[in-house]
Structures are given as structure tokens and as C-alpha cells.
Amino acid sequence: MTTAAPPQVNGHPRPAVLPELGDWRPIKTTGNATVWEKPAPQSDEPAAELATAVDHVALAEAEAIRQRAAADAEAARIKAEAEAAAETKTAEIKAEAEAEKQRIANERAAMKLEADKVAHAKRLADLEAQRAAAEAAAEKTRLDAAAEAQRAADRGDEQKRTEELWKWGARAIYAVGLVIAAPIQFLAFWDPKRPFLVAAPALLEGLALVLAFGAAWAVANRRDVAPYRVGIMVGALIAAGINLWHGLADPAIGVNAGVIGAIASLGGPVVLMAYEHGIAQKADGIPSRRERRAARKVAKAAADAKEKARRDKLDAELTATAAKALTEARAKEEQQRRDADRKAAHEDVWKTADAMRSARGFEFVTEHIWDEAWYRETGSKRVGITADIEARSRLAQAEMKAATECPPNDAPSQVDSQKATRPKKDSNTPDGRRFNGGIPPLRTPGDTAPYHPVTKVLAAEEQRQSATANTTSEETR
């Protein structure tokens, strides 16, 4: 390493070139070592003048200055290297911290991503379950609707089938009755002298038949069916009476034939009228006896449910009223007990609270009024705490703190990394310190900030420079 020489020496300009003191030449060689000898001056001037021309003090000072400059440059270099190392270390620590922070952030992001994936998978599973449940419900609804439609169709087919059976059965009964009653009436009305009476049976039996046709027309056109039914019964009764009378009066016909004819004359129209009556009720939407009975059961069940709900509501209201009354009574008793206790134990605070209650128009002293009255009288915002209680509490806390923070056997804690351990004093020796109760200050490891690495380097360099300066000054003297 090269350093520049100072421009001045002892306040005088430094010569551009050092004085030449002559050539050096070897005089002898011993092994690998060569001994150099300075030749005698070749100048004509005396040796004393040459000796006096050299300023050894200036040379020593210049050398000291050069060494000091070199030392300063070396110290600056060491300091710069230390600072660079510290900066590099700091940058590495910062980079490590940033890397750790980034790693933690990446881990958190990965964890969040995993959690999001799990939540998404769970949501997809829930949606799939909901979709499957919806599809199952829709399929069940469709199947139920199909089953209900099938039942309705079967019921409709059954109704049609039974209606057809009923219609043709009624007509068949009417035809059979007509076949039985008509010959009897023909025999009864047959008279060779009056052959026109042979049309009387057609009139009597046809009257009921035509009126039955009229009743069917009335049902189809939503007309009144009662007149037709009355006519049917009148015609049937007349025909039945004639058959019965002829059977009794004419031995050729006989009583049995007369009775059978009367039944036939009545049975056919009655059955046909019953059929038309059912058709009329169905067309008019009149419920049957079974439907009316089922409707009465449903209405009775609804009325019973409504009555039960009314009774339950009334019972709930009565229970709530009783519970509220009981709660109010207990609250009133508790308030009276609290007021009596406060009045007996804290008379001054009670007077203030009662005055505030009266001024504000309240029925009793509320908790808010009591808190404010306590603060007005004692100055404490915490109810139940007075100045005496607070003072005793703080004194007890101070005593407890002194007892718990005092080291065992009154031995002071030392930090080995900062100062050496001193010999322990005798327990009977007075401490000599004031205002601390004789308790040494407690120290814990790490309560002093650690030294910076650059500080150690600078301290070593300062010691080296001090030693160099002392050596130079001794040489100069």
C-alpha cells in the first residue's frame, strides 16, 4: 500500500527530491547475506558540513506523519470494511427476514389456497347434494303426480264403468217391468167389443216412460226435475193399481199376476227415477251423504284444532302474566332489600341518591343514580371503593411488590457479560446506600443493548493508533 507524503515538514515546504547521500556498495558477502557499506563522500566539502545538512528530526517527523497517515488510511479502510461488512450483514439479515416473511406469506397463501379448495370442494359437494335432493324431490313429485293422475284416471274409469252399469241396469229393470206389466194390462183391457182399449196399457206404461225421458232432459239442461218425478210416480201408481185390481177382479189373470204386475209397474219407474236423481245431484254438485259426513268430520277437526290453539294461547298468556307478576314481585322485594341495605350501610350516599331520585321523578333508586351518587360523595367511579380502601390497597400492593421483587437472601443479581461478580458482603454489614431500603438494584440478562460489531473494530484500531503515536513520540525524544 502506498501513501502520499505530507506537503510540509515542520512548517517548511518539503523538498521535491530528498538529498542524495551517495552510493551504497557491498563490502562483503557472508553466505546469503550481503553487507552494504556507505562510501565516503566524494564532495570536496568537509564531512561535518554534510552531516549538518541532514535534518534527522524532520525526517523522523515526516516518517511519523507518513506512518500516521498510513495508519489513518488503514483505520479508514478497516472502518469502511467493517461498515461494509455490517451493511452486508444487515442486508443479509434483512434479506433473510424478507425471505422468511415471503416464505410465511407463501405458506399462508398456500394454506389459504388449500382452505379455499377445501371450501370449494365442500360447496360443490353441498351443491351436488342439493341438486340430487332437488332431483329426487322432483322425481318424487312427478311420481306422486303420475300416481295421483293414474288414481284419478282409474277413479274416473271406475265411475264411468259403474255409471254405465247403473244406467243400463236401471233401463233393463224398467224394460223387464214393462215386459211383465204390459201383457197383464193388455189382458185386462182386451174387449172384442171395444178393441181401442188395447191402447190403454201403452198410455199407462208409456206415461211413466215419457216422464222419465223428460226428467233426463231436465237433468241435462239443469232444469227443475221435481215435476217430472211427481208425474212418474203418479203414472206408476195408476198402472200398479190397475194391475192389482185386474188381478183381483179377473180370475183369468189371478192375484199373483196382479201383484207382480203392480210391482213391475212401480219398480221400473222408481229405479229409473233413482238413477236420474243421482245424475242430477252430480250435475248440480250436490255432495252425497258420505261427502257431507266427511266434510263434517273435517270441519269438526278444524274447529277442535282452533279451539285447542285458543286454549293454548290463553294458557300461555296466563302463564306469562303469572311469571311477569312473580318476576315483578321478586324484583320489588330485591329492590326493597337493596335500598334498606344501602341506607343502613352508606347513609350519606343514600341521602344524595334519594335526593337525586326525587328530583328526577323515579320510583326507586336505580343503579345509575346510585353510581352517580357514590361518585359525588366519595369521588370514586368504582362503587364500593373509598379513599381509605384505595390507600390501603395501594399500600398492600407496594408491600407485595417489594416482597416479590426482592431477590432471595438479598443477593444482588449480576450480569456476567457486563461486570465481574464482586465478593458477597456479610449480611450484618450496613449497605450504606440511601432511599432504597438497602435493596441493591436488580439487573437481568439482556437489559443492556449489545455492542455493535463495528465498535470492536474501531476500539482495536484506536488502541493501535495510540500505541503507534506513543512509540513515535518516544523515538522523537
Q: For 298-330, how does the pLDDT look when each residue is reduced to its tens digit (9 = 90+)?
A: 999 999 999 999 999 999 999 999 999 999 999
pLDDT of residue 247: 79
Q: What is the pLDDT of residue 425?
A: 63
Q: Is residue 365 classed exposed, middle or buried when 0-12, 13-18 and 19+ CB atoms within 10 A define those classes? A: buried
- Burial class, 370, CB count within 10 angstroms (exposed 0-12 / middle 13-18 / buried 19+): buried
- Assign 28 to helix, strand or coil: strand
Q: Are 268 and 174 in contact (CB under 8 A)?
A: yes
3-state secondary structure of 12: strand
**Intervals of the chain under pLDDT 50:** 1-3, 17-18, 24, 27-29, 31-38, 40-52, 410-419
Alpha carbon distance 295, 301 (integer Å): 10
Task: Quote the pLDDT of residue 314.
Answer: 92
pLDDT for the residue 406: 61
Q: What is the pLDDT of residue 43?
A: 47
Q: Identify the pLDDT of residue 170.
A: 78
CA nearest neighbour of 415 among 446, 374, 460: 446
CA gap 184, 242 in Å, rounded: 10
Cα–Cα distance, 4 to 345 (Å, whole number): 94
